[in-house]
Amino acid sequence: MSAAGCIRKERLDRFVELARVYRGWTRAQLSHALGRDASKLVPESGNPKLDFVVGIADVLDWRLGDVAEAVWLEEPHAEASGVSFEELDLSAHAAHRAGDAQRMLALSKQMRDVAATSTERAIAANRESGAWDLRGRYVRSLEAVQSGLAEGEVRDDVRLMLQANLANAHYALWHLVEARAVAADLIVGFAERPPRSRLERVGEAFACYVRGHSFRRQMAQSVASARRDLAIRARVDLERARERYLRLSDEYHDLSYEAVAATCRGGLLECAAVLDDIEPSDVIQQIFERLGEAEDIDEIPRGDRLESYGWWAIIGCNVALRHLEGRELHRAMAVCSNKAMDIAERLDNWSMREQAFSMEHYRRRRVHDITGFEPDWLLDADDIRILAGAMARFPSFRPIGWQILESARVFEDGR
C-alpha cells in the first residue's frame, strides 16, 4: 500500500471510532448502520467506496464533502527550504499579479508552514483565499478568509484586507445579505475613523463597491415594488465608490482604479433605468457604445479594464430582461450575453460565466412564458464544461444548471 493509502486508512479508522463514540454504539451496531461486516469496516486499501463515506457522514451529522476532504490528502506542496515568510509572501503576491493560482496556492501553504505569529497565519490564509478566488472556487476562498479572521491579535491592516475579501467572497457566491453586512461594518468603521493610508482608502472604496453592487444584484431577486428602494440604496454606495476610485486613480496613476470606477458607472445606469431617470433603451445604447470600445477583446490586456467591459455586458442583460420586449430584448441580449461570455473566457472568470448562462436561461424562459415555445438550446462540449464548472462553483446556480441540461440538446462532435 502507498504512503497516501496508509494515511487514508488511519484517518478512516479514526472516523469509525469517532462515529461509534458519537452515537454511543458498539462496533457491531455501527457496522449494521453502515451495512458492513464488523471485521472489515475499513478497506485495507484505504480507498473507501462512496456509500461508506456517505454512511459515515450521516452517522456523524457531517456534510459529505467535509468527510471526503478530511479523508483524502491535500495536494502535496514543496517545503519552504529555509525561505523566509516575507520572501514567500512577495512571491505569492507576484503569482497573484501573474494570475498563477496554482503557484499562489502552493506558496500560501508554505507560508502557513513557516508562519510564527497570528498575523502571519492570517496573511497566509488571505493569500490562500486569493488563490482560490483566481480559480473561481469561491466557497474555498470564503473558508480560507474565515480561517484568517479566526486568528487572534491580527494586525489592523491585515484584518481590513480579510474583511474586504470576506465581503467579496460572499458577494461572488450571491450571499448578498452577508456581503452587505460585512461591507457595512467596514463602512461604519471608516465613518468613525476616516481612512488615512492608501490601503485603508482602497478598503473603504471597495466596501462601498460591494455593498452598492449587492443592493443592485438584489433587484433581480426582488418584486417590482421593492426595486426602487434597492436602486436608491445601490446608487448612493456606487456613487461613493466611483468617486473614491477616481480620486485614487488620479493620485496614484493606477488605471485599475479607473476601471473599477467604470464598473460602478455601469451599475449606476442599471439603477437609473429602475428609477426612471433614463429610458431603458437609452441605457442599452450607452452600453452598446461602451462595449464598442471592446470590439476586439484580444487587443485589451487581461485585467480590471477588460473585466469592467464584461460587467457592463452583464448589466446590459439585466436591463434588457427587466425593461425590454420583443426584438429590442433579443438584440440587446444577443450583443451583451455573447460579449460577456467572450470576455469571461479570456479572463477565465467563473462569476461572469455563471451570470452569462443565467441571463440566457432567463431570456429563454421569457420567450417560453410569452409564446409557449421552447427555443432550441444546443450545447457543445465546451458549453457543457463551462456549465458543469459553474454548477460546481455556485451552489445557488445548480437548479438553473440542471434545468438547462434537461432542456438543451447536446451536440456530439464524434470524439
Spatial contact of 342 and 333, defined as CB atoms under 8 Å apart: no
CATH class held by domain 85-163: mainly alpha
Taking the C-alpha atoms of residue 125 and residue 158, their distance in angstroms, rounded to an integer, is 10
Could you state, in order of their start, the residue ranges of all structural domains in the chain? 3-71, 85-163, 174-278, 314-415
pLDDT at 75: 52
pLDDT at 414: 43
CA distances, 287 to each of 223, 254, 386, 402, 407 (Å): 25, 24, 25, 31, 31
33 in helix, strand or coil?
A: helix
Spatial contact of 309 and 339, defined as CB atoms under 8 Å apart: yes
pLDDT at 77: 55
Cell of 383: 458549453
E runs forming strands in 10-104: none
Best CA proximity match to 352, nearest among 342, 364, 365, 362: 342
In this prediction, the residues of the chain whose per-residue pLDDT falls under 70 are 1, 73-81, 412-415
List helix spans (H) across 173-223. Answer: 176-192, 198-218
In CATH, 3-71 is 1.10.260.40: yes
Best CA proximity match to 340, nearest among 380, 290, 272, 379: 290
E runs forming strands in 208-256: none
415 in helix, strand or coil?
A: coil
The type of residue at 282 is: D
